[in-house]
Structures are given as structure tokens and as C-alpha cells.
Structure 1
Amino acid sequence: MTSLASQRREPLPDDAPHVLIVDDDQKIRDLLARYLYSQGFRVTAAADAETAQASLRGLDFDIVLLDVMMPGISGLELAREIKAQRDIPICMLTARAEPEQRIEGLEVGVDDYISKPFEPRELLLRLRNILRRGQAAQTTPANQSDELRMGTLVFHIARGELKRNNETIKLTERERDLLRQFAQKPGVPIQRHELSTEDATGSDRAIDVQINRLRRKIETDPSNPVYLQTVRGKGYILYAD
């Protein structure tokens, strides 16, 4: 990781995005905290999962930056716990030799990952992209319906809310983003590379994992999908009612 040292800014406004950094390496933790603060983030740092859990109980966060390998409760275990309890985007820090853990993280619901060593600007781009996806589609064009219907399911595009018979189905930020992309082109095949994150680093396998997770939430039989289908050689297509 290249140097993260930067000049500190003036005090940040209360509505600046709040990031929770969880990493057992104090040097990395401190460097990340200084850099992200200099880029307009309010920052809270934790050396382990237990400290992070205490912070999550007492503070509101816009995003979590979480290391995979930590003593005690691992980053993946903590990510699974966070996603089960609340809807906070998570970006994981991984070593390049941990491809299976990246896939497991996506299965847990992690929104993105970045490999160590990394460039600070790439990290900043990923965090901002995740936050921007969460804020996307707050307004809907006048000529576009705000609802996507699939049988008993209704996806409210602007709110990013999926319901079945008025019961809310919990979505990750990445799943919301995928549904919004499909909602823009219902009945039209979308290639895998179009479904990648904005920095175009998502692998085909990562996209497949995310699609399979989404199918488990919208399909009665995910192995035999009715709405979200694979188009061989092209990608995926979503059929709405």
C-alpha cells in the first residue's frame, strides 16, 4: 500500500459519510483513518471485531471497511453478523491470495472488496462508488414506473425496497443496484460486464455469485428461475409482469 499521509482538513460537517475501519494492524488502521478523514469522511477505527461491535451498537455508520484476517472473530464472521442485523454497506480488505474468501464474502453480502496492497485513490473510488450506489435512483424519471412487479414481489425502484405481500425482503446495496439495473431494461439481456461495479473490476464468477444470492430472494425455486434467467453467451435477463 502506498503512503496514505495527507494534511488534515477543517472539522467535517455532521452529514459527512461515517466509515468504520476494522483492522488489527495499527499502522494500516491509523493511515487509513488519516487518509479518509482528509478526503471528507468521519472516521471511527476498531482493532478487532469486539470493539467494532461495540461501536456499531452506539453509533450510526454509512459504510464499514473490514479486514478479512483478524484474530478471534474473523472479518467474514463479523460481516455475516452485520448483514444479518442491519443494512450497512461493507468493503472488505483481502490479500491477493484469498480468492475463495472474496467469493465467500460476496455470498455473505459484502458489497465490494479491495486487495492489499492497494492504491489509496482506488480505495477512495470504491468507497464512494458503494455510497453512490446506495443513494442512486432516489428520483425516478417521469416516464418510468417506480415499481417492478414479479408475481407477488414488488420492487420499489426509488426506495430500493423489495416486498412480497407487503413483507419487506432485506437486500444488500449490491442487490439493490442489480435490481435497479435490470429495472432499466426489463426483458432485455444484460451482459455480465455491464453488471460489474463502476470500476469494472468484478469477475464473471463474482457476478454469478451475486446473481445467485439475488435469485434466492426473488425466485420460488432458485435452481429453476422464472424471473431472473441466464442467457447463454450474453449474461442475464429479468422478466417482469
Structure 2
Amino acid sequence: MEQDKIAILVVDDEDRIRKLLKMYLEREGFEIDEAADGEEALILATEKDYDVILLDLMLPGMDGIEICEKLRETKATPIIMLTAKGEESHRVQGFEVGTDDYITKPFSPREVVLRVKALLRRSSKTKFLETEPAAKNIIVFPNLTIDHDAHRVMVNEKEVGLTPKEYELLYYLAQTPDKVYTREQLLKDVWNYEFFGDLRTVDTHVKRLREKLNRVSEEAASMIVTVWGVGYKIEAAQIEE
């Protein structure tokens, strides 16, 4: 495999869908691996560092929700869930366990390619950001630094690996310190998806984000403050210039 080649795992129990997605994604220069069931997908995704995983929700043996949940215990790989129409509750559950985006079946393969590219731009893979204008876009707090150009989060000079959605949530809050955002606002602006679902999607991501920051610095984790009955904010009494 070429060192700088984007690697994508396509997981679907329908051979036709896997082959179709593989063909379109390979045309874009991506390297594609396939898995037809949940157990195979989990083994591949655990052993290899993929840039994106396209994950069908309904799979034999282990479904997409369970795979995503297990992966999030050790990996921040960007995940796009493939769901059928009418599975709204499952999509909400997918967001709660760490899915970064979803695509509804039936879909256009071209749409999938565009969504993959958009997710890569939002992920930490800087090699896919070269079309963006160079700029010094860094937010610095006493214990936390966010380099938005590189999509990199540093806590006490140690890099913290976040999923695209975790990163977007942190960056969104950090842009306006001490401003309180409701869960509804965060769902709309960070997830770009207005749905009638469980607001625990936001709570779950905040909890996961705090846990990752807390592994390096309790002070950094405590900056994400819950405003009871309202929502969340980044509390930063002292911001370094």
C-alpha cells in the first residue's frame, strides 16, 4: 500500500453494494477493504488503521451499532453509517455511540464519495486538507490547544485522538468561551441534522470528550461545563494570547 493512500473499509452483507462502492471509491484513488459481516469487520477495523469506515447498520451476527460501540473503546476512526429508510431511532442510537455521519439507502454512489471526502476534510488526516487556504487558526487555553488547520488537539503538549464529531463539538464550544449552548443548538450546528431524537446524543459525546481529555489533564476536562437545565459551555477564565 502506498504510504499516503487513503484506506477505507466497506462493511455490508450485500455483495452488490460492496462491489459498487468499491468501484466508485477506487476511481478516486482510495484503497478499499471489504467485510460482509460484523465479526469480520471488527477484526479488520481493530487490526488496521483505516481513514474511514462505511458501516451498514443491519448486519448478520453483530450489527453496526455494536461494532461502532466496540470500536470507540479503542479507536477514533471516522465512521459513516449506512441505514435504510424508517430507521430513525437507530440513526439516533448510532450518533450516541460515536457515528460521525449517516447515509440513507437507497443512495447514489456519487453521494457516498462526496460524503467520504467531506468527512476526510473534517478528520485529522491533514493530507486531505491541502485545498483549504493556509492560515494560522489556533485556539489556545492554559491546558488546551486546538490547531484547527491540522485538526489537532493538544493537552499539556500531548496530542489527544478525537473522532471527527468529538473534535467538531470541542472546537464549536471553544470558539466562544463562556457562551452556553443548548443541546438542541449543538445537535443542529455540530451534527447538521435536525431530528426528533434523544438529546443524550450530545450528552454521550460530551462525556466521551471529557474522558479523553481527563486522561491527560483534569483541568482540561473540567473546562467543559454542564449548565444544568440549559446545556454546555467551555469555561475559560484565563485565555492565553
Same fold (TM over 0.5): yes
SS of aligned partner of 2:202 = helix
Q: Which amino acid aligns with 1:161?
A: V
Distance in structure 2 (CA, Å) of the matches to 1:136 and 1:57: 18
Q: How many residue pairs get matched?
A: 215
Q: Which amino acid aligns with 1:96?
A: K
Distance in structure 2 (CA, Å) of the matches to 1:166 and 1:14: 26
> Cα–Cα, structure 1 residues 218 and 14, in superposed 2: closer, same or farther, change >3 Å?
closer
Which of 11, 19, 27 is the aligned partner of 1:30? 19
Distance in structure 1 (CA, Å) of the matches to 2:50 and 2:91: 23
Mapping of residues 188-227 of structure 1, within 5 Å: 188=179, 191-192=185-186, 195-197=189-191, 200=192, 202-205=193-196, 208-216=199-207, 217-218=209-210, 227=225
Which of 168, 173, 193 is the aligned partner of 1:177? 168
Unaligned runs of 5+ in 1: 1-11
Partner of 2:9: 20
> Cα–Cα, structure 1 residues 80 and 118, in superposed 2: closer, same or farther, change >3 Å?
same
1:191-229 CA distance string (max 9 Å, x none): 4476245xx4x1255694442123324399xxxx97254
| TM-score, scaled to structure 1 | 0.73
> Cα–Cα, structure 1 residues 193 and 55, in superposed 2: closer, same or farther, change >3 Å?
closer
> Cα–Cα, structure 1 residues 22 and 203, in superposed 2: closer, same or farther, change >3 Å?
same
Distance in structure 2 (CA, Å) of the matches to 1:206 and 1:133: 24
| TM-score, scaled to structure 2 | 0.73
Alpha-carbon shift at residue 76 of structure 1 (Å): 1.1
Of 171-180 and 64-73, more deviation after overlay is shown by 171-180
Q: Does structure 2 conserve the Cα–Cα contact (< 8 Å) formed by 1:95 and 1:116? A: yes
Partner of 2:215: none
Mapping of residues 51-62 of structure 1, within 5 Å: 51-62=40-51
Distance in structure 1 (CA, Å) of the matches to 2:29 and 2:36: 22
Distance in structure 2 (CA, Å) of the matches to 1:146 and 1:118: 38
Which of 214, 233, 240 is the aligned partner of 2:236? 240
Matched, 1:100 2:94: no
Name the Cα RMSD after superposition: 3.5
Distance in structure 1 (CA, Å) of the matches to 2:90 and 2:116: 20
Distance in structure 2 (CA, Å) of the matches to 1:65 and 1:210: 20
